[in-house]
Amino acid sequence: MKIDITTVNTSISEQEREITENKLEKFHRFFDEDAACQVKVRNEGKEMRVEITIKIRRDILRAEAKETEYITALEGAIDKLEGKLRKQKTKLKKRRQTDKALSEYLDTLPELEPTPAVPTAAQVVRHKTFNIEPMSPEEAALQMELIDHDFFLYLDPETGMVRVLYKREDGDYGILEPQY
């Protein structure tokens, strides 16, 4: 797994970079060499925000934490990544049966009850561009949970149409199919 560390409005020491790589070392055995890990460190006033994004083939696993100290925020984000792996254990095992190392790791994790997402009001604060991948609604739901969003945009492989999968307040999912 390749690790890329970037900073915004701050800098981290070489020792902190080494600590970051050592703490992320545990994920090396679960993901192959094609996996890419991006760590973004931002100074937000008196707090440090650490965002960790791991791209595995076409899947994305993401977590972030904000603390007053960098290492504490890093550990919080890593703990969240491990929690997401535990939460998605069954779904990931079904999709990754060929990835033996990840399956073995998932077998060692205790079962967790999924927690329902609480919708919050949001403002448009940034613009993102990304590639739309063809996938089933089940795959889109898994991706949505892994990146911790309330919606996911994907391409229906059967129709070639763009769809939006979203999480409903009752915990179920809905699909939006635009007509154009």
* pTM recorded for the entire structure: 0.57
State pLDDT tens for residues 143-175. 888 888 889 999 999 888 899 999 888 888 999
Pairing between β-strand 36-44 and β-strand 47-56 as defined by DSSP bridges: antiparallel
What confidence score (pLDDT) does residue 99 get? 56
Quick one: pLDDT at residue 116? 54
* C-alpha torsion 163→164→169→170, nearest 10: 30
Average pLDDT of the chain, as a whole number? 82
Phi, psi angles (nearest 5°) of residue 2: -90, 135
* Overall residue count recorded for the chain in this entry: 180
For residue 69, the model assigns a pLDDT of: 93
Number of alpha helices (DSSP H) and beta strands (DSSP E) in the chain: 5, 7
Low-confidence stretches of the chain (pLDDT beneath 50): none
Residue 72: per-residue pLDDT: 94
12: Cβ contacts below 8 Å, ≥ 6 apart? 5, 20, 41, 70
